[in-house]
Amino acid sequence: MTASEVVTTPAYEFDLATSVTALDDGRFAGAIADGWDIGGNANGGYLLAIAISALREASGRPDPITVTAHYLAPGRPGPVEVTSETIKTGKRLVTTSGSLWSGDRRTLQVLAAFGTVEHADSYVYADGAPPVMPPIEECVFRSRQQGTVEVAIMDRLDIWLDPSCAGFQTGGPRGVGDPGHRAEMRGYVSFADGRPWDTLSLMLACDCFPPAVFHLDLPPGWVPTVELTVQVRARPAPGPLHCRFTTRYVSGDTFEEDGELWDSTGRLVALSRQFALIARA
Amino acid sequence: MTASEVVTTPAYEFDLATSVTALDDGRFAGAIADGWDIGGNANGGYLLAIAISALREASGRPDPITVTAHYLAPGRPGPVEVTSETIKTGKRLVTTSGSLWSGDRRTLQVLAAFGTVEHADSYVYADGAPPVMPPIEECVFRSRQQGTVEVAIMDRLDIWLDPSCAGFQTGGPRGVGDPGHRAEMRGYVSFADGRPWDTLSLMLACDCFPPAVFHLDLPPGWVPTVELTVQVRARPAPGPLHCRFTTRYVSGDTFEEDGELWDSTGRLVALSRQFALIARA
């Protein structure tokens, strides 16, 4: 199977917004599309998906398997170029390194391994389960407006939050401090235009929820992602993803956010972990 | 502060075994020393420490902050070269990319951000705690012999395992299946020669315990690390590290192993996560 055979129909917004054209020397031309931003800055998961769209094609393998990105600069709409280097071509994995450039500004640096996601059910061990949350119709639809910030990407994604995680939006209790509550966001996510999830779009899904630290009394300001790693475990079945994002340790102005993404059949499809900063005033 | 000012005294084995000499063009000369291996292959954490020793010097910053390595080939004793590229020089972080070469074979590919580890205590949130385990004198010293494999690196490190995690060595119950047990390794680790832990040697500490999947009935064979990410949170205080490594999800012949490393004062010093394969026969 070649990478081009697994590209889904380009009728969906996400595919148009992450399509790339191969140039010479391992370079790819693409663009940061309008409308995938939060307050004008492109969503980090979307930026990663553009880069992985290009690197996946360079790898000749159908699926990203483990992906790490360092975020270097905000992404603004306009043309971008992805440069790629093949680090190793193995039987099971192809390892690539690459950069997403906006003009001469490096926006993202990526190190990623590609292969074919396995569905071997011969051995499975799970010490964990999909998030426990009310059915989708009892959840809180994430609004496009968040305080004074326009979350434009919410035109592209439908997110339904577990009501006990939605206090930042509804004005209800934020959770931490109440017994049994944690710095955790739980909810469902689908593309607004009905595009099914695949291993490429999991890059976006891993970074599209409100930060779990919204449950904490952090000083106001950005919580920029420094690094995001995604492990892909399975191809998602049709239907919304069931997601849980948790922050356990805030120390030294830094924190992690761990994500678990499950498909509608209860299969784990991805694990993610971010390293983020509490911005200084 | 320059990186050279924080290099500790080279009287310790680890410092000798990870020392590098700057060449031109961002290259560094070093060596994989004898005796840091498991069955002849250099420990992955040790290989990472050599690469980070070089990249840290290239960055001009004292501490690795978030580090990702992809493992490409086994490391054998002998000379190595580390190549480096500065991706971004920011106020708070310097981002570098680099490779560890054994001759013309690329052994490791690294993407890492360096800075100064903060000890800001103005805001700390913790939804977790150091591992609960018996005092060190009631733990099981990890032996140098593991079945037919010589774990030579155990001459350099002293690891004391929580007895309930040591069944693979003592022949006792392995744990999983018993109520309350998980695929988890808990224990203490110190350098055999008394070297104190610092942010560089945390790279080694994150990958020196027996795999947590030793608690599972996996088919025999290697469980090669594909990718290892380490987030450094604090400079360790003197004394052994208190460590917990947990695997929660084995699926499609892959699994993650999450590590938490705490110092002797109960401070979180690092989080790690590996992505590893179950090797096929």
Rg (alpha carbons) of chain B, rounded to whole number = 18
Cα–Cα distance, B271 to A253 (Å, whole number): 15
- Using the Cβ of B25 and the Cβ atoms of chain A, whether some distance falls under 8 Å is answered with no
The amino acid occupying position B46 is Y
User: Does the structure show a pLDDT above 60 at A4?
Assistant: no
Q: Which run of H or E residues covers position A261?
A: strand A254-262
Model confidence band, residue A253 (pLDDT cutoffs 50, 70, 90): confident
Q: What pairs with residue A108 in β-bridges?
A: A71, A100
Longest dimension (CA), chain A: 57
The residue among B279 and A255 whose pLDDT is bigger is A255
Q: Which residues of A touch B252 (CB under 8 A)?
A: 117-120, 233-234
Which residue in B72, B88, B231 is closest to A95 by CB distance?
Answer: B72
Contact A106 B92 (CB under 8 A): no
Cα–Cα distance, A262 to B106 (Å, whole number): 35
Under a CB-based contact definition with an 8 Å cutoff, are residues B79 and A98 in contact? no
pLDDT of residue B6: 59
| Alpha helix ranges (H) inside chain B | 3-6, 13-17, 44-59, 167-170, 202-205
Range in A2-16, B8-22, B113-127 the model is least confident about: A2-16
For residue B223, what are its two tokens? 């469980």
Q: Which residues of A touch B124 (CB under 8 A)?
A: 250-251
Q: Taking residues A222-229, what's their average pLDDT?
A: 93
Question: Phi then psi for A172, rounded to 5 degrees?
Answer: -75, -175
Please give, rounded to a whole number of angstroms, the shortest distance from the CA of B228 to a CA of chain A: 10
Q: Which run of H or E residues covers position B83?
A: strand B78-89
User: Does the structure show a pLDDT above 60 at B136?
Assistant: yes
Please state, for a pLDDT cut of 70, what percent of chain B lies above it: 90
**Short-list B61, B112, B54, B71, CA closest to A109:** B112
The residue among A180 and A71 whose pLDDT is bigger is A71
Cα–Cα distance, A237 to A256 (Å, whole number): 28
pLDDT of residue A122: 56
**Short-list B40, B34, B37, B3, CA closest to B17:** B34
Q: Taking residues A179-200, what's their average pLDDT?
A: 91
pLDDT of residue A9: 57
Cα–Cα distance, A229 to A246 (Å, whole number): 15
Q: What pairs with residue B126 in β-bridges?
A: A249
Report for A2-6, A213-217, B85-89, B165-169: range of highest mean pLDDT:
B85-89
Query: Which residue on chain A is closest to B114 by alpha carbon?
Result: A226
For residue A49, what are its two tokens? 């998906």
Q: Which residues of A touch B227 (CB under 8 A)?
A: 66, 68, 113, 229, 231
Range in A26-40, B156-170, B196-210 the model is least confident about: B156-170
The amino acid occupying position B41 is N
Report for A143-147, A165-169, A240-244: range of highest mean pLDDT:
A240-244
What is the CB neighbour count within 10 angstroms for residue B265?
13
Average pLDDT over chain B, rounded to an integer: 91
What is the CB neighbour count within 10 angstroms for residue B74?
17
Under a CB-based contact definition with an 8 Å cutoff, are residues B165 and B112 in contact? no
pLDDT of residue A147: 78
Q: Taking residues B46-69, what's their average pLDDT?
A: 98
Q: Taking residues B110-125, what's their average pLDDT?
A: 82
User: Does the structure show a pLDDT above 90 at B231?
Assistant: yes
pLDDT of residue B215: 84
Contact A66 B226 (CB under 8 A): yes
Tokens 């992805």, residue located:
A82
Under a CB-based contact definition with an 8 Å cutoff, are residues A162 and A187 in contact? yes
Model confidence band, residue B51 (pLDDT cutoffs 50, 70, 90): very high
pLDDT of residue A215: 84
Cα–Cα distance, B245 to B182 (Å, whole number): 10
Q: Taking residues B252-281, what's their average pLDDT?
A: 92
- CA B189 to chain centroid, in Å, comes to 11
Cα–Cα distance, A265 to A55 (Å, whole number): 29
Q: Which residues of A touch B118 (CB under 8 A)?
A: 252-254
DSSP characters over A184-245: EEEEEEEETT-PPP-TTTHHHHTT-SPPGGGGS-PPSS---EEEEEEEE-SPPPSS-EEEEE
pTM, rounded to two decimals = 0.94
User: Does the structure show a pLDDT above 60 at B178?
Assistant: no
Model confidence band, residue A240 (pLDDT cutoffs 50, 70, 90): very high
What is the CB neighbour count within 10 angstroms for residue B15?
17
Length of chain A: 281
Please give, rounded to a whole number of angstroms, the shortest distance from the CA of B156 to a CA of chain A: 31
Tokens 């690196």, residue located:
B153
- Using the Cβ of B228 and the Cβ atoms of chain A, whether some distance falls under 8 Å is answered with no
For residue A267, what are its two tokens? 């299969």
Contact A93 B231 (CB under 8 A): no
User: Does the structure show a pLDDT above 70 at A6?
Assistant: no
Start-to-end CA distance of chain A, whole Å, equals 50
What is the CB neighbour count within 10 angstroms for residue A231?
28
Tokens 């689908």, residue located:
A190
Q: What pairs with residue A281 in β-bridges?
A: none
User: Does the structure show a pLDDT above 90 at B162?
Assistant: yes
Question: Phi then psi for A18, rounded to 5 degrees?
Answer: -120, 10
Range in A203-207, A277-281, B34-38 the model is least confident about: A277-281
- Using the Cβ of A136 and the Cβ atoms of chain B, whether some distance falls under 8 Å is answered with no
The residue among B7 and B57 whose pLDDT is bigger is B57
**pLDDT tens digits along B255-264:** 999 999 999 9
What is the CB neighbour count within 10 angstroms for residue A121?
9
- Which B positions 168-227 lie with beta carbon below 8 A of chain A? 176, 182-183, 216, 218-219, 226-227
What is the CB neighbour count within 10 angstroms for residue B70?
26
Residues 6+ apart with CB under 8 A from B58: B26, B28, B84, B86, B96, B98
pLDDT of residue A41: 94
The residue among A189 and A222 whose pLDDT is bigger is A189
User: Does the structure show a pLDDT above 60 at B18?
Assistant: yes
The residue among A8 and B27 whose pLDDT is bigger is B27
pLDDT of residue A178: 56
Contact B233 A248 (CB under 8 A): no
Instruction: Write the DSSP symbol of residue B39.
Output: T
Which residue in A92, A109, A183 is closest to B111 by CB distance?
Answer: A109
